[in-house]
Amino acid sequence: MRVVLAEDLFLLRDGLVRLLEAHGFEIAAAVESGPELARALAELEPDVAVVDVRLPPTHTDEGLQCALEARRRRPGLPVLVLSQHVEQLYARELLADGSGGVGYLLKDRVFDAEQFVDAVRRVAAGGTAMDPQVIQQLLARRSGGDRSPARLTPRELEVLELMAQGRTNAAIAARLVVTERAIAKHTANIFAKLGLEVSDDDNRRVLAVLAYLDRDR
């Protein structure tokens, strides 16, 4: 699996390269700036991009914007964004097209090698990998302090949060110590309550999170 990696801090970039190579990934390019990232994504067509949000020369959101532009040119390009802090607008921009293959992790997560590599693989396979802190802050902000949505039960909200982190029904069942069949029932209820019908073109798990976050707009 070919990876384009963008990180301006040399030690972290070098560490991520070694980690990913040790787990069987091929590093197509490891770059340190926005312009380099834009060229690499356009020319190398990687299987997945792992991108620091803030890159030179602006150190604002150059990495994220390069990744989003690459997804506009190549819909569905898997992108895992790394950030020092929870930036709710950035997470929302990643989810906005309603398709999978996106992730947003705080940089602290990369120090758990197994968790980080699992997230890269999940995103590359078209899934999602949203940091639990990102989801919690997004939900808290959108619900005005009340995390229970009007039409979802507390258990369905738990399932939705774990779904947003990119976990499968089997993983959610293991976390909540219930059967996978029970999770499938909760998931179906969530989709029904949010009006998400079966579609070949959309990822309902991503749309479920997005619809919930947008309900107060």
> Does residue 41 have a pLDDT over 50?
yes
DSSP 194: T
3-state class of 85 per DSSP?
coil
- Of residues 149, 157, 153, the one with CA closest to residue 215: 149
Quickly list H helices, 23-87: 34-44, 62-73
Q: At what angle do helices 180-193 and 154-164 cross, to 10 degrees?
A: 100
What digits encode the pLDDT tens for the residues 77-128? 999 999 887 776 677 777 766 677 888 888 888 888 998 999 999 899 988 8
Q: Has residue 153 got a pLDDT over 60?
A: yes
DSSP 8-class letter at 109: G
**Pairing verdict, β 102-106 and 128-130:** parallel
What is the value of pTM for the model shown?
Answer: 0.69
Q: Is the alpha carbon torsion for 52, 87, 130, 174 positive or negative? A: positive
Encoded tokens for 153: 């039960």
Whole-number pLDDT of residue 217: 45
Structure tokens at 208: 């479920």
Evaluate if residue 167 carries a pLDDT over 90: no
CA of 176: how far to CAs of 131, 171, 201, in Å? 18, 9, 30
Domains, the chain, ordered by start: 2-130 (3.40.50.2300), 142-214 (1.10.10.10)
